[in-house]
Structure 1
Amino acid sequence: MDKRSDATVEKYAAPFVQIVLEKNQQRDVFRELSQIKGIFEETHLADFLSHIGVSQAEKSKVLRLFQTCDSVLVNNLIEVLVKNGREDFFYPILLDILKKIEKETNEFEVTIHSVEGLSEEQKARLIPVIEKKMNLKVRSIKENLDGSLIGGFAITANHKIIDTSIKRQLKAVKEKLK
């Protein structure tokens, strides 16, 4: 995106996040916007909304389908974007809002890369360790099975990584032997 587009996204996202935090609606709004994000990713709806060949009326009609949300704030955001003819910016605004809410609340989705899936008990034991070591709150845990790790696990959240995998340990030994 160019600077003008970034400014437009910021113009809508920053005040929206501020209102969400003031009204203490961050969990509900984050959940709703995450669901909408999933729909956009599955259907490539962002491409449709930003396509120059699609009429403004069609874009408005599609975006209004999401106004059935439980959150009045999300419904109002959609209404403002439709009235201002900014439907094509909805997806970038949505992504920016999710990022800002995570940053403001310090709650992040944590991805655990491991060879085998973790049990609920293992996840429950890991959460306090992750929160302490990474200095954040765990919003949710996403598992990613990766056989190349050989053993152990790697945890990523908020651009931070804890890597206890055997693969990384073998790389470290290899580097020492050089």
Structure 2
Amino acid sequence: MKETRVASRYAKSLISLAKDEGQLESVHEDMTLVRNTVDENRELALLLDSPIVKGDKKLVILQQIFAGKIGAMSQKFIDILVRKHREHLIDDVAEEVQKQYLVLKGVVRAEVVSAIPLSEEERNEVLRVVKQIDGRSEVQLKETVDTSIIGGFIITVGDKMVDQSVVGRLEKYRQKFNKNQYIADL
């Protein structure tokens, strides 16, 4: 079984338990903190992936890092992951919790890449397009500026992508020209 599927199942279990206990919001906040901490600290990520460091030492380190910062349910969940030798999945599980939480709340994640920062009018248009693509009413938009696309934008919603960048259009034209036998024979 792939690791992402395992992480997804652990996340689903945690979300289900948190929902039943009325702690969904706090568990989501805890897992956001856990994910940010692991993502920002390379040494911690390497420690969690290391087969050399024993699980009990990893558990003590994680307890010290998150003591008083996350709730008891989240701490116990991390303890279970470490005891089951799944500590390398903590970051993936935290990410899956975030994804499943947004799905549960009816929020869609979208990313827009543009050559320059979006104006308020452009941002509203992107939000309208994303809502039209996905059908959900609430959108969590991540904006990225990438000058290499020259102009235009690229919108990604789940596994769907709308590429209206200059670089994307030039690539489409290049592919069309490469398929043209008359030009290829020159």
In structure 2, C-alpha distance between the alignment counterparts of 1:10 and 1:175, rounded to whole Å? 38
- SS at the partner of 2:37? helix
- Checking the alignment, whether the CA contact within 8 Å between 1:110 and 1:138 is kept in structure 2 is no
In structure 1, C-alpha distance between the alignment counterparts of 2:130 and 2:84, rounded to whole Å? 42
- SS at the partner of 1:128? helix
Which has the larger Rg?
Answer: 2
Whether 2:42 is the aligned partner of 1:49: answer: no
Percent identity, aligned pairs only, is: 22
After superposition, residues 72-111 of structure 1 pair within 5 angstroms as 72-82=72-82, 86-111=86-111
Number of corresponding residues: 176
Aligned partner letter, 2:152: G
1:12 matched residue in structure 2: 10
Aligned partner letter, 1:171: E
- Checking the alignment, whether the CA contact within 8 Å between 2:130 and 2:157 is kept in structure 1 is no
Whether 2:172 is the aligned partner of 1:172: answer: yes
Per the TM alignment, residue 63 of structure 1 is displaced from its structure 2 partner at its CA by 1.6
Q: Cα deviations across residues 24-57 of structure 1 (Å, max 9, x unaligned)?
A: 6555544432332122122122320231221333
Aligned partner letter, 1:61: V
In structure 2, C-alpha distance between the alignment counterparts of 1:28 and 1:167, rounded to whole Å? 43
Q: Cα deviations across residues 84-142 of structure 1 (Å, max 9, x unaligned)?
A: 56534423322333343344445233211101011345323422321122334555322
Unmatched tracts of structure 2, length 5 or more: 181-186
- SS at the partner of 1:54? coil
In structure 2, C-alpha distance between the alignment counterparts of 1:110 and 1:9, rounded to whole Å? 22
- SS at the partner of 1:32? helix
Q: TM-score, normalised by structure 1?
A: 0.74
Shift in alpha-carbon separation, 1:56–1:172, aligned structure 2, 3 A: closer
In structure 1, C-alpha distance between the alignment counterparts of 2:22 and 2:126, rounded to whole Å? 27
Aligned partner letter, 2:91: Y
Unmatched tracts of structure 1, length 5 or more: none
Q: TM-score, normalised by structure 2?
A: 0.72
- Checking the alignment, whether the CA contact within 8 Å between 1:111 and 1:156 is kept in structure 2 is yes
Whether 2:37 is the aligned partner of 1:39: answer: yes
- SS at the partner of 2:133? helix
